[in-house]
Amino acid sequence: MLTPPSSGPSDHRLRDGEKGDAPVPTNKKQSRPEMTFPDAETASPTTSSAVSSPSRRPLVVMDQVTKVFSSGTVALSDMSLAVNGGEFVSLLGPSGCGKSTALRIIAGLGDVSSGTIDWPSSRINSRGLPEGDISFVFQEPTLMPWQTVFGNVYLPLKLKGISRQAARDEIMATLTTVGLEDFAEAYPRELSGGMKMRVSIARALVTKPKLLLMDEPFAALDEITRQKLNDDVLRLWKETGITVVFVTHSVFESAYLSSRIVVMKSRPGRVHADFPLHTSLDRDAHYRTSEEYRQACETVSETLLEAMSGEDAH
Ligand SMILES: Nc1ncnc2c1ncn2[C@@H]1O[C@H](COP(=O)(O)OP(=O)(O)OP(=O)(O)O)[C@@H](O)[C@H]1O
Ligand SMILES: [Mg+2]
């Protein structure tokens, strides 16, 4: 039995995976989950998505994607995943199972060896990539040290050819959203790790993307800061309706944040289990100590162990 610490989530960094022989789960039909879950039942993993609502088209659809690097490493094999508008999807799995590779492909940052990747709700540019609807937050904030907070958040708008003056209101509104409106003129060296990550999130949000991709964004931060940022991201998700795909190694973080959990297995990487979390979305300090949260953590943890042991999802 897994008991989450009442002080908050902690990291469960996992070992490399094992031989896998389960058929690749597919997610042919998926759409937006309900934003409130009146049934406080424990999630039930399945090999196909149980999230259903026909009202929204998916934002991104990976269909039987295989990715083989030039080194010969098969990072993904026949991976299928559809992400729907309004979801908060956490992607978990053993280290090296292909989470970052999958996220980069979803972002249009990497090509596929076979299979298809499609963004049905986006405008596609001449290179076959989605235009402006997707933002990426990496584990490191990667801020320009010679630029102020304002300048760093301005960058994606500058790249779109928007003048600093025209961008000012949008940048200040976004800094307010992440609680940094008083630090617009500060330089990265003057900020804490959590504040730098907030700048990175603001930079991702300032273009108003439909889809926010986050690759272990808080892994390097202390637990208190991480919890605070978890609450911030959750609030942003609820307030803006943005769709989030969040890579994490933390069972507790994923159970706290997500409306849906996707667990991958490795060698080669593919979806092992894909299930909604039927838990309250009023997630706060009380939720962290609730039986509902404990059960969600236990379900995610057991599914991860299954993925690592080679068992099929049930
Ligand atoms: N550019 C690359 N060239 C060759 N192999 C790569 C490249 N990027 C990743 N790989 C390999 O692909 C596999 C999946 O890597 P990936 O970074 O996607 O895993 P991950 O699940 O994100 O791991 P972690 O949890 O440690 O971040 C690994 O075996 C890795 O060594
Ligand atoms: Mg990674």
At 187-208, the pLDDT tens digits run 999 999 999 999 999 999 999 8
State the ligand closest to the CA atom of 17.
1
Pairing mode of beta strands 58-68, 114-118: antiparallel
Beta bridge partners of 264: 271
Among 134, 103, 135, 99, smallest CA distance to 119 is for 134
Please report, for residues 15, 102, 123, 181, 225, the alpha-carbon distance to residue 275 in angstroms, rounded to integers and kept in the order given.
Answer: 23, 18, 29, 37, 28
Among 297, 277, 282, 293, smallest CA distance to 33 is for 277
What's the pLDDT band for 14 if we cut at 50, 70, 90?
very low
Q: Ligand 1 centroid to 274 CA: how many Å?
A: 21
Mean pLDDT, to the nearest integer, of 271-282?
A: 85
Q: How far apart are CA 165 and CA 174, in angstroms?
A: 15
* Predicted local confidence at residue 313, as pLDDT: 55
Q: Are 205 and 174 in contact (CB under 8 A)?
A: yes
Q: How far apart are CA 261 and CA 244, in angstroms?
A: 12
Is the CB of residue 16 below 6 angstroms from any atom belonging to ligand 1?
Answer: no
Among 287, 221, 265, 310, smallest CA distance to 91 is for 265
Q: Ligand 1 centroid to 178 CA: how many Å?
A: 31
Ligand 1, pocket-test mutation among 97, 104, 112, 113, most atoms within 8 A of CB: 97
Percent with pLDDT over 70 in the chain: 80
User: What is this structure's pTM?
Assistant: 0.82
| 155, pLDDT greater than 70 | yes
The encoded tokens of residue 313 equal 């999802």
Residue nearest to ligand 1 atom 2, measured at CA: 69
* Predicted local confidence at residue 2, as pLDDT: 47
* Predicted local confidence at residue 311, as pLDDT: 59
Residues near 14 by beta carbon (within 8 Å), at least 6 away in sequence = 93, 94, 95, 249, 304, 308
Pairing mode of beta strands 88-92, 260-265: parallel
| 26, pLDDT greater than 50 | no
| 21, pLDDT greater than 70 | no
**Lowest mean per-residue pLDDT among 39-43, 147-151, 168-172, 279-283:** 39-43
Q: How far apart are CA 45 and CA 25, in angstroms?
A: 12
What's the pLDDT band for 56 if we cut at 50, 70, 90?
low
Among 112, 139, 81, smallest CA distance to 263 is for 81
**DSSP E strands, the chain:** 58-68, 74-84, 88-92, 114-118, 134-137, 211-215, 243-247, 260-265, 270-276
**Lowest mean per-residue pLDDT among 5-19, 54-68, 208-222, 299-313:** 5-19
Secondary-structure class of domain 1-133+222-314 per CATH: alpha beta
